[in-house]
Structure 1
């Protein structure tokens, strides 16, 4: 069963907010996972200024090789923080540049992340450049809030066994420093 929301042209942000509020009100799980949907603490987008906050954990961090993909789209650094202590960080095979994969795991730990604010109209072009097995989904931060951010599909880490668990370094910068 599903619901379709219709609205006038350019009402996307309003419709997204209504859809998110409906999900929270009905207490629907996250897809077929059965995992409870996070509480609605803040909107996914800021309809007043047409922006969206995005959590990054690797090559998009300030000063690293892919950060230009955020700044060229008008991205602004909002904060440097940590994820909730429920994530593992992996270094994926391949590159350059090297890429991390953050995976939710109840036996994980806090991972250093940055929160960037992007104009919502640039999000589509940003999404188009994200290679598999990475994608965007909801990431829980240390303060209990949930924001859109980079995540990885769990099955992708088992393919070829080439992903290295680097959680012990507390973040991508920590791991990069350990390699030099």
Structure 2
């Protein structure tokens, strides 16, 4: 189980001024360290406006990262705490935005779902967690809505995160937003 503790994170060796690029080293179980690159990018989807995707992984050799490499971190909780802390810092600077996290495969989607579920209470103090599924609109004609190329037109359907959701029905995308600050009046 991944335990999120925002007070126990890894100090990055690089952070861009706008907090969209970030790098740190994670100790590995078999010794040595792996560099991790975290990137936050606008997904430019009109159906999910103001959403920036967060992705991370080891360098791919072309200036970005690979999210398909399996690493064996000495402390996965510390790695994910570091990534979540950066996401929160980005959202504090950009409170009208949301960050999306996409498991690049079913194994990672399951990992993210379990991470959010098992850390529900500490995360919900600061964040609003949302799950996103995709749907295709069924038309009255019995056909489905299609895009200009004739392919089924998938649309996002965000919903409040269901912590009891079964693992055979994971969300396709996870969104986090900052909770609005409550004034003490």
Q: Normalised by the size of structure 2, how large is the TM-score?
A: 0.23
Bigger Rg over Cα: 2
Q: Normalised by the size of structure 1, how large is the TM-score?
A: 0.24
